[in-house]
Amino acid sequence: MKTISALTALLLIAGCAHNVSNESSSDAGVDATTDDASSDTGTNVEDAGLDSGVIDDANSFGTGMYYHGGLTLTSPINVHMIYYGSWPTTSTADLIEYFINNLGATAYYQIDQEYYDITDAGQNYPTSSLTVADRWYCGYPYGTFLIDGNIEVLARDMASGTPNPNDIYIVLASSDVSEENAAGQYSGTDFCGWHSPTGDGSKVVFGSVDLTKDCNVFYPDSGAYPPNGDYVADMMVNIMAHELSESITDPNLNAWSSVNGEIGDLCAWQFGYVYYTADGGLANTVVGGKQFLIQQLYDLQYQACAMHPEYPR
């Protein structure tokens, strides 16, 4: 959760190569009930636990979350993928985008859909339509050190016109790239990802590939093997699950949050019930036909971290 500083310069990203679509990243046959892979032999992970302050907000409708009056994303969402730095193979991008394309049909995503907004039409709930629209490989137009304004320019340039406020631009930086935010904090050390509205109304998500312990449950020597065998993609989908959920339920930083953060912040690095896959990977859910290890979200009705709603809508 953060706010980007105002754009001060415009740079056309001539080096970005465009991929319009990815057939391998979508799966039309998604069953929302496959989110629970209870048939595998599992092992419980010790939860970090929530601070008591999460559920004591007097204006929080009896939960740890307060609705501040802003809009959530209730119309179909197009996700635009921007890969910054060195991405030598397409299989990593394919797996990340497979996860995003299939996320909207899961029981996990139904937690996002608890977070309504209120307009003259009444209560409106987030869309389940989440589709990767295109993919861009951008190389290093800003080198290996980024600041907030660089990320916004990348997203705005890809919009190439009036951006749709319901679209999300995801900028993923390779492991040799670092980013410093306006507060002097660094990716990998101080944060793993963030989301924010931009000055023109579009939505940006940033994620940094960090294979060390700070942002990666599959870091070397952890003993944890990624469920799909891809250390970068399996690490990144956990960050994306967090930031995408916050982009949908608090897109303009004025909808749903508590004194301790947003829907993902309250459950960061809490995975609940974890099991071993047939290949020895660690997972806790199925998205489409693939298994992943992603953090829990804050269930508005259950008032706790969960992988699916306690009381589905």
User: Domain residue spans in the chain?
Assistant: 17-306
Looking at per-residue pLDDT, the higher value among 27 and 126 belongs to: 126
Identify the burial level of 119 via C-beta atoms within 10 angstroms of its C-beta, where 0-12 means exposed, 13-18 middle and 19 or more buried. Answer: exposed
What's the 3-state SS for 282-300?
Answer: EECEEECCEEECCCCEEEC
C-alpha to C-alpha distance for 40 and 184, rounded to whole angstroms: 43
Residues 4-25 pLDDT 10s? 332 222 222 335 777 644 433 3
pLDDT at 26 over 80: no
Looking at per-residue pLDDT, the higher value among 7 and 302 belongs to: 302
Output the pLDDT for position 55: 26
What average pLDDT does the segment 79-95 reach?
A: 93
Roughly what angle, to the nearest 10 degrees, separates helices 231-249 and 90-103? 30
Output the pLDDT for position 312: 63
Residues 188-228 pLDDT 10s? 889 999 999 887 777 889 888 876 678 888 876 778 899 99
Residues 179-199 pLDDT 10s? 998 889 999 889 999 999 887
pLDDT at 69 over 70: yes
What average pLDDT does the segment 161-168 reach?
A: 80
Identify the burial level of 184 via C-beta atoms within 10 angstroms of its C-beta, where 0-12 means exposed, 13-18 middle and 19 or more buried. Answer: exposed
What pTM did the predictor assign? 0.82
C-alpha to C-alpha distance for 236 and 219, rounded to whole angstroms: 12
| 132-136, 160-164, 284-288: the lowest-pLDDT one | 160-164
pLDDT at 30 over 80: no
The amino acid present at 28, given as its one-letter code, is: A
What is the sign, positive or negative, of the torsion defined by CA atoms of 183, 188, 190, 192?
A: positive
Show the tokens assigned to 64.
């740890």
pLDDT at 104 over 60: yes
pLDDT at 27 over 80: no
Which of 247, 285, 287 has the alpha carbon at shortest distance from 265? 247
pLDDT at 48 over 50: no
Output the average pLDDT for the chain.
80
On the CB side of 177, CA atoms within 13 Å amount to 26
**119 DSSP β-pair partners:** 122
C-alpha to C-alpha distance for 193 and 179, rounded to whole angstroms: 10
Q: How many degrees, rounded to 5, is the angle at CA 13 between CA 92 and CA 199? A: 95
Show the tokens assigned to 153.
């320019």
C-alpha to C-alpha distance for 74 and 56, rounded to whole angstroms: 28
C-alpha to C-alpha distance for 250 and 193, rounded to whole angstroms: 15
Output the pLDDT for position 221: 73
Which of 205, 202, 221 has the alpha carbon at shortest distance from 213? 221
